[in-house]
A and B are shown apart, each in its own frame.
Chain A
Amino acid sequence: MAPVPARVAAAHPAMAAAWDAYLRGVFAHPALPAGTLDLCLVRIAGLLGDADGGPGPVAPAPADLTDRVAALPAWTTDPRIGPVDRACLALAEQFVLDAQALDDATTEAVRAVVGDRGLAVLVIGVGLAEGLVRAGLALGDGGTGPVA
């Protein structure tokens, strides 16, 4: 399933294909562990009030994604959320709630585990995730859920 809202894809197929390719390229980027950005997408969908949990996985889902998604309600303490996911989720939450208030400690925690490339990919990916969820909500195109 394409993550881009179906109404956008129907009205603007070439633009939607480019948006879709951008999403998939970022979400599957090797600078981050598999599934980390999809985990952030589910969290962001929850923060923005998407009852469907987002459009479903953007990148190929690793075998443990279902467990990691199940751990999201207690992501700061649940052992199924590893240190990389935890650092990335902290940044993703602050990005959505108030990007201006994102502090250096939060970004440094991400850089410490995934480096500069991982930090850049995470920030771009989290922005794309937020935009994707917002677009789906605005068009009433919620998607299939976090692990379809």
Chain B
Amino acid sequence: MATVARVPVPPEARDADGVVMMGPVLAALVPEVAALRTAFFAELTEVLAPEPAVHELNRLATAELTGCRYCRNVRRRDAIEAGVGEEDVARVRTAGAEGFDDRTAAAIRLGARVRDVPAGGDPSSELPVLGEALGTAVVAAVARAVADGKAIVALGLEPEAMPVRVV
């Protein structure tokens, strides 16, 4: 685990609380990459908007995989804001899809097909329950969360006393 940031962190990447955001770090170093990332996130955000609770539950589960400390904290807050109860936050972290209604459970199981090792399997039990629009949105969202959460860790943007926010 990194003890210092592995890439330069410009002053504008820190907010008033000292929280480092990966977007401005990339914007300073590789602005063309940051712009493409921002454009992708904007489109993905629109796709996820109709089902905030389902996606926040999958984000919570994904943060457990990536080990991103800040992600774990911020995802809990965002899940509560999306209407997820405290019990469900705890349950998805420890028991996965167990105990959720059929549709939510299917979304969490499909998310697990993306984040687990080995990944994959047969999604035919989840996609009919979710439909193509939500099912493929879950897959894209979890793939993105794995990518960014692990990138934060790899770039050393979450050392002690330097929490990081993904924007």
Contacts and interface: CB of A to CB of B under 8 A. Distances in A.
Contacts of A140: 120, 122-123
A19 B151 contact: no
Interface in B101-155: 110, 113-115, 117-123, 132-133, 135-137, 139-140, 142-144, 146-148, 150-151, 153-155
B119 A8 contact: no
**By DSSP majority rule, is chain A's interface helix, strand, loop, or mixed?**
helix
Chain A, interface size: which category?
35 or more
A131 B1 CA distance: 21
A15 B43 contact: yes
B38 to A, nearest CB: 9
A99 interface: yes
Interface residues of B, number: 52
A134 B146 contact: yes
B73 to A, nearest CB: 16
Interface of B: 1-2, 6-8, 25-26, 29-30, 32-33, 36-37, 39-40, 42-44, 46-47, 66-67, 110, 113-115, 117-123, 132-133, 135-137, 139-140, 142-144, 146-148, 150-151, 153-156
